[in-house]
Chains A and B, each alone.
Chain A
């Protein structure tokens, strides 16, 4: 027998017995495999979330600024104040707007990738979407600071195309305009859309890819034009992908505090309030209570998304 094909000799001893035991008792094997990750996530992650929840019901001693570990609902009363309500409404509105814009921009590209691109072109497009998704968040944000600055590339382009009047008109819009694009809610919105767009493209592409071509042929055989086929066949079947992508765009927008801090007017979003309360103000309990807002909003959103079948497309 060719020695290079020889099998490793069966071993004896404790290791073999342990192996046999794990093979015979699958649940024991499962337990051995799951114990380390479950311990890590159970103790550290769930423990931290529990600490977060507990802190939300603690108060702050006004005099010493120390956390007082006594049950109080003061933080939640404060959450209802008009200023904080505004922050929540603004954040959720932004998240919804960003999600809608991402869907509209992502859909054609996802469709093109799934149904028209083949071979090398498909691989190229896939990499072109994946690279920005994984590459540095801060560097991409920095790029937008360069683009949107008053002396930056977009202003230059507007001047070259004689569209300065349009830029000025957009910036003079009430409540979303500002002195320059990098100090306006429009700027914040554009950067959010840019940042999370790849998270929307990939699930939609996966969903469209799974639509059998025969469905589209059947639709056109039955007399539907491209518009009707899109509306009645493609769109409903791609919807789980949209829902899956929207979980990311929605959740990431709600939780981000850096984009509105770098690009935007000085109005605040949920993430910024949480960050400033725990940092500058040293009020971890209030920050904890405020961070429960996005958890609740996202919980409701996930529930709705699950009912739309979003998790089958992840």
Chain B
């Protein structure tokens, strides 16, 4: 495809306007973390201070929420990587009856509204009388994280030269050796990228979690409580910045790891 270097100015304005629309709110969050005002959301902040970072650091409830979210995200990611990689290996090149149905099934948990997945799990737990626990959260998160790993792995597997696998087998390696020495080294960074995104997705998820968490407070649930009933605005401002920083790292890393992969086309 050829691209013309000069864009009409109207197009440029509209495009950069959309970018500004996407990013100004994020910039504002960073500004507010330093606001000296602690009773309202007044703009512009009357003065700037760094004292709230120290205050937030002391908060045991924030730390507990961060820990819980980390553990949930770690377990969900681990499960999602295994299931997503297996499904990708099966579906990347094969064509068989029911293939499309299976990929639809994998996408369904994020294609259907979060409340549907949430209330579905909630009714299943209720019907089977499973009490809410750490694992009821993990099961929900793992289910919608699979598709992220799957998408990344499929994109990479389709790019993988099938001759390499043939060559490996011709040279006497068995299937497991081929997987270990040929496929995994090439798939590794795509799986890592998928894992990072799945981690970010789980770390941030709130809608399904509110249906499956019972009384437990993950970081997003802590944040949600503050959104509905603001009690400590300065601490919330700081936590918001920390969350942005924590999620930007895996997202950028995932982008860097898969930047050569084509986006998934069927």
Contacts and interface: CB of A to CB of B under 8 A. Distances in A.
Contacts of B12: 112
Interface string B6-21: 1100011011001101
B47 interface: no
Contacts of A251: 111-113
B122 A278 contact: yes
User: Which of A20, A128, A197 lies at the interface centre, i.e. has the most chain B CB atoms within 10 A of its CB?
Assistant: A128
Interface string A27-40: 10110011011101
**Main secondary structure on chain B at its contact with chain A?**
helix
Given A52-B120, A252-B113, A255-B114, A134 B206 contact: no
A242 interface: no
Given A213-B2, A251-B112, A278-B211, A111 B11 contact: yes
B94 to A, nearest CB: 6
Interface string A133-153: 011111111111111010111
B28 to A, nearest CB: 6
A170 interface: no
B181 interface: yes
Contacts of A117: 3
B129 to A, nearest CB: 11
A41 interface: yes
B174 A16 contact: yes
Q: Classify chain A: how many residues form its interface, as a range.
A: 35 or more
Contact of A48 (B102, B120, B244): B120
A153 to B, nearest CB: 4
Interface in A2-58: 7-8, 10-11, 15-16, 19-20, 22-23, 26-27, 29-30, 33-34, 36-38, 40-41, 44-49, 51-52, 54-55
B184 interface: no
Interface residues of B, number: 98
Interface stretch (B50-58, B59-67, B248-256): B248-256
Contacts of A8: 173, 177, 181
A109 B266 contact: no
Contacts of A271: 113-115, 207
13 contacts: A8-B173, A45-B105, A52-B123, A125-B19, A127-B255, A135-B244, A139-B240, A141-B227, A142-B226, A197-B22, A291-B116, A294-B113, A298-B113
Interface of B: 1-7, 11-12, 14-15, 18-19, 21-23, 25-26, 28-29, 32, 40-44, 79, 82-84, 86-87, 89-90, 94, 96, 102, 105-106, 108-109, 111-117, 119-124, 126-128, 139, 142-143, 146, 169, 171-177, 181, 197, 200-201, 204, 206-207, 210-211, 220, 223-224, 226-228, 236, 240, 243-244, 247-248, 251-252, 255, 259, 263-266
Listed from nearest, the 8 A-B pairs whose CB atoms lie closest are: A255-B113, A108-B14, A143-B25, A112-B15, A19-B175, A19-B174, A33-B90, A48-B120
Interface of A: 7-8, 10-11, 15-16, 19-20, 22-23, 26-27, 29-30, 33-34, 36-38, 40-41, 44-49, 51-52, 54-55, 67, 105-106, 108-109, 111-118, 123, 125-132, 134-147, 149, 151-153, 155-156, 194, 197-198, 201, 206, 209, 211-213, 247, 251-252, 254-258, 261-262, 270-271, 274-275, 278, 284, 287-288, 291, 294-295, 298, 311-312, 314
